[in-house]
Structures are given as structure tokens and as C-alpha cells.
Amino acid sequence: MQSLLSLSIAVLTGLMLSRVAKLFKLPAVTAYLVAGILVGPYCLGAFGVEGLGFVSMGDVKSYSIICDVALGFIAFSIGNEFRLAQLKKTGKQATVIGIFQAVITTVLVDVFLIALHFAMPDKLPLPAAIVLGAIASATAPAATLMVVRQYKAKGELTDILLPIVALDDAVGLLLFAVSFGVAKALMVGKIDIISVVIEPLLEVALSVGLGALMGYIFTFFEKFFHSNSKRLSMSVTFVFLTVAISMLEFNIGPVHIAFSSLLVCMMLGTIFCNICDFSEELMTRVDRWTAPLFIIFFVISGAELELSVFKDFSIVIIGLVYILSRSSGKYIGAYTSAKSVNCSPNIVKYLGITLWPQAGVALGMAIKASNLGEVGNVISNITLMSVLIYELVGPVFTKWALTKAGDIKPHEKTSARGALHGTSTAAK
């Protein structure tokens, strides 16, 4: 009962704050994150009244299965952006930009943090600086997708943005695996080729393969049903099943085999949307079904944000350098690569800003890096601080950039409820 009460109060707080956010022309996702902070362990939960808020981080983590499922549906929805007809128009540009902006961001953050390491060697170890550079490449597809949906963003920037966000996370996983291997080598004095090269390539390849297989199986089973409700139920079932299978981890000899649930579910959506003739209508129905799930996900994400990281002044300094260098890297990387492939001026100018949000993927990397002991703690604290800042201001900047690019029409007003359910609401 207490868990259900905490969750319902959290979601209700998020919904009410979304109305306040609308008055200030802020994205609803920002309101949900703030709601999570308010009912989290550092605010309402600090009173220790179970059922009234999340009283501890352990309490928040108990809802992790909801977050895993929500990320699965978010990735599944992004897979819808990889339709062949659309990729013929933007595929080459999205691929070049997705790879180069991630690499440039990693290099730039590494340069600044390694320089900071020599100034603060006791506070920022060299392995931590290298790993943080790779984590900087990751973006937050969830926050970006929610802003696009809420404001019905449509245009050339939106068309290229979501494929880049999806590709960005695949590149980020590779960069992280390599950087993580280098960091471990610096600590133990030995380079492990398997963990630096083989395992990251296998993770991406196997994730894409598993997602493609599940997509074909999903489409096969969908043909046995004709009612919209049964097809929707089958869609939900397969996303659940795909998320569950993608959590498997095992070893084959010295090689550790793992999957990226984001990549697997993106590929599931991509295959389904390209070979199923009624996929577009079904994806719209899935989007409506997942609206409350996404609200819960962002409220819980807000509750997970660690406010305690601000107690350490050195962490704040390192975190600010990380945030500023990452933001610069994303903008410079997107600007230069978009210009090199002859994108329109609006894409060149505003794309980098829409890539600032950072959350789930980066936190997942930080959790894996926690195995590095004290170095891992530094990585986790910096990542937690940056996620807190990026999650709160990132959606606001994304909305601003999409508006300036003309993809969000200022005169068209939408309600959070209407946008989340995929319905159009005209200005009243």
C-alpha cells in the first residue's frame, strides 16, 4: 500500500506542477523532474513518513523495473524514426553528425579534464578524467522525445535529431567501453584487448542483431490479430519481452556478453516499422498507452537525482568544467559536422543545443564505472551532478532551439495531457 501511495502522490505532484510549468512556458518533462526532487529523499521523503514520499534512495530504486520498461518504450518509439523513406533523405547526414559530434565531445571533455587533473591530481584522477570524456558523448533520448511530442515539433531539425540521438548512444557505448578499458589499464598497468575492443563491438553488434530478430518475430505474431486492442497488447508484450531478454548477461570463456536494452528496443521498433504495413497507426496507439508510464519514469528519475553531490566544492568545480566542456563539444561537434554535410542553416545553428540533455545512458555508464573503486566514486559524483543540471535545463534549451529553428510554432499551444496522448490541441 505504501509503495502505491508514494507513487500516486509523486505522479499527482508531477501533473500539477506541469500546469505551473505551462504558465512559465517550460516543458512538462522539467515539471516531472522537479516533482521527483520534491517527493524524493532530500525533500518530502526526508521527513521519513512512508507513503508520503520516497524516504530513501533504496525506496526509489525499488521502482527500477518501471524505469527499465519506460526506457524500452522510449527506444521502441525512436525506432519509428528509422523508416527507410526518411533515412533516404537524412540517413547519410545523421550518420556523419551522430558519429563526429560524439567523438569531438569526448575529445574536448578529455582535454579539459586531463588539464584539470594536473591542477587537481588528488581530486580528479587521470582514469576518471578519461572515462568522463566518454560518458560526455551520451545524450538523453527520453527528454528529447518528450519535448518533441509535447510541442508537436515538426521540421528538418526534428527529422534529423531523433536518428542522431539514437546513433549517438551506440557510438557512446563504444567510446565508453574503450575509455573504460584504458582507465583500467592505467590503474593495473596492463591493457586488456578483449574488454577494450572485442566486448564493446560485440555488445553493439549483438544488440542490433537481437533487436532485428525480435522485430521480425514481433511482426510475424502481429499478423494473427486484427483487432486494435489485441495488436496493442501484442506490442506491449513484445517490448516487455525484449527488455527482459536484453538484460541477460553471461560469459563465453574470457568474453563477457551483454546487450544494450536501448539499442535492442530501437532495432525492434525499426524493423517493425519498416516491414509492417499498419505500423504507423499502431505506434500512435502505443504512444497513447505509454503516456502515464513516461510521467512515472521522469518523476522517479527526478527522485533519483543526488543533491548531496553539491556538498563537495571540488566536485562542483570539476562538474562545472565537465558541463561547460561537454556543452561546447556537443555544439561545436554538431555545428562542424552538420556544415560539412551541407545541412540547412537551422540545423547547423541549433542542432548542437538539442543534444545537451543527458540522463539514463550516462548514469548506466557511471554505475559500471563504479567498479573502479575510488576513481569510480569520482566518476559517479560528477555524472550525478551533470545529470541533475542537464535534466532540469536541457529540455528547456531543446524547446528553445526547436522553436528558433521553426519546428515548434510559437502560436500553437498544446497541453501536456494532449501532447502526451498524441492528440492535437488547437489554441483556444
pLDDT, tens only, 397-427? 999 999 999 998 875 444 444 444 444 433 3
Of residues 260 and 247, more confidently modeled: 247
Q: What is the pLDDT of residue 290?
A: 83
Which set of grid coordinates corresponds to residue 156? 528538418
Q: What is the pLDDT of residue 241?
A: 95
> In this predicted model, what pLDDT tens digit does every residue of 165-184 receive, in sequence order?
878 877 887 888 788 878 88
Strand partners, 250: 257
Of residues 103 and 297, more confidently modeled: 103
> In this predicted model, what pLDDT tens digit does every residue of 19-42 receive, in sequence order?
998 888 888 888 888 888 898 888
Which of 151-155, 212-216, 382-386 shows the lowest mean pLDDT across its residues?
A: 382-386
255's enclosing H/E stretch is strand 255-257
- Other beta carbons within 10 Å of 189: 7
Distance CA 133, CA 322 (A): 8
Residues whose CB is less than 8 angstroms from the CB of residue 371 and which lie 6 or more positions away in sequence, other chains included = none
Residue with cell 534512495: 57
Q: What is the mean pLDDT of the chain?
A: 84
Residue 376 confidence class, pLDDT cut points 50, 70, 90: confident
Distance CA 266, CA 81 (A): 9
Residue with cell 523495473: 65
Distance CA 191, CA 318 (A): 27
This prediction has a pTM of 0.79
385's enclosing H/E stretch is helix 374-404
Residue 259 confidence class, pLDDT cut points 50, 70, 90: confident
251's enclosing H/E stretch is strand 250-252
Of residues 141 and 337, more confidently modeled: 337
> In this predicted model, what pLDDT tens digit does every residue of 72-118 receive, in sequence order?
888 888 887 777 777 777 778 888 999 999 999 999 999 999 999 99
